[in-house]
Amino acid sequence: MQQEGTQSRSSKFLKDIGIYAIGNLGSKIITFLMLPLYTHFVAPADYGYYNICLTVVLLLLPFTTLQLRDGAFRFLLDTETDEQRERIVTSTYKTLLTNLLLWVGAAIIISLLANIAYFWYTVAFLLSFSLQEVVAQVIRGLGNNKAYVAVGILASLGIGIFSVIFVVWMNMGIKGIFLANIIARVLCLVIVELKVKSFVRFFKPYLKVGQVAKDLLRFSLPLLPSSLCYWFTTSSDQWIINYYLGDGATGVYATAVRFTSILQIAVIIFYQAWQETAILQFNNKDRDAFFSKMLNTYICFLCLLGVTYNFMLKLNYGWLVGVDFQSSWLYLYPLGLSAILSAIAGFLEMAYQCAKDTKRLLPAIILCAIINVVLNLVTIKFLPDEYKMFGAALTAIVTYLVLVVYRWVDVRRYLKLKVKTSTLVPIVVLVIASVPYYLNRHLWQDVITLTIAIIVILYCSPHDLIEKILNKIKPASHR
């Protein structure tokens, strides 16, 4: 019976990975292709200002959505009847719409007091992004993973099409980027709703959902600091760089940050599939062994991905970005390492979500936010000019390393995780490979380094788990 359960959950996990892979790869590839377009048709200073606006949107997004995206998905997974789904969906949308109206009111007041460039474009971007985030997770929580994937693909495709129209053909610059994002996100939600009708079916405006709303917010609100820490780690450095070095330097650094989306594609695919599997399997007796196997495999995969990502980008960077942004390759490796540490921290965070004990996320998040801001201020302000942005990238590594260590210790109250000694080898390889990354000056040197690193990491990876899962999937696929 235990083997059948393992086979079932492994099969579902891989199936979910396949679905999310299609969606994320499709949407991220389209988004990735926009980077060369923007860096060729938008000046560094203008692109730097847009990225500042984007960081503001990412900072405010958890507060406009109240992290209802995570709460709605988590609670919908536990529902068994349409009546329960109606209560959760209605509560989610009522709370969201009320909060967005309050933010619009605040925006009107701000616009009367200050003259901020592209202010209402940024507000519209924030509102459309908030709606997309929550609605997509509601659809996912209702079990329609294909529609959830479709939201991401349609939005990204729309951004690509409208970016070509507004930025390239109409030469609208920053306004074109904003309009592409706003129109595409709203249009994709309309198209998906016409197809799945999740709003029409489950939103009941006159339904009393006071207690459900409290339960949702009790789960979701503690996740706000987690998102805030993510913003501090990925975006506060850009604000400080902008303050001390200007829009041009911000645009260069932001280009390197954007390339970490290549790593984030794999991380998001795993996280989304793992989120559902982890929550559903959390109460099983063998959860410690199951979670440990997944963690060991995940770490090895991240190290393999990290080495390949960094060296392949270095080899192709000359044609991927414009001439004015070429120096950003220097920051790829440390930012890639920070993204991997962030992914491991995200894996550990799942324990809090499974246990519905998200309030325990707060201490580590507050600590890391303080560390990140202080180190960014110190490195960017006091280091020599040629090392300021590199110091910001190293700060991200330190921040996420502290977060991983803290959570590793703290999640023992929920899980007894074990990392094999062999899993430490890929981590060491990933760190050591940073040396030839900067010292190599010839193509053949990078190819040799990459090949050796891949061989060592694959040799030390836990093949038994991969083989067991694949062997169990094959018979199931034939039935």
Give the tens place of pLDDT for each residue, 385-415.
777 888 888 998 999 999 999 999 999 989 8
The more confident residue out of 39 and 111 is 111
- The two tokens of residue 204 are 């009941």
Burial category of 26 from C-beta neighbours within 10 Å (exposed 0-12, middle 13-18, buried 19 and up):
middle
Confidence band of 11 (pLDDT split at 50, 70, 90): low
Give the tens place of pLDDT for each residue, 176-199.
889 999 999 999 999 988 888 888
- The two tokens of residue 458 are 């694959």
Give the mean pLDDT of 467-476: 46
Give the mean pLDDT of 200-219: 85
341, 397 contact by CB (below 8 A): yes
Give the mean pLDDT of 327-331: 82
What is the Cβ-side half-sphere exposure of residue 211, based on CA atoms within 13 angstroms?
A: 1
Give the mean pLDDT of 14-40: 66
**Residue 5: what pLDDT?**
46
Give the tens place of pLDDT for each residue, 437-467.
898 888 889 899 999 999 998 888 876 545 5
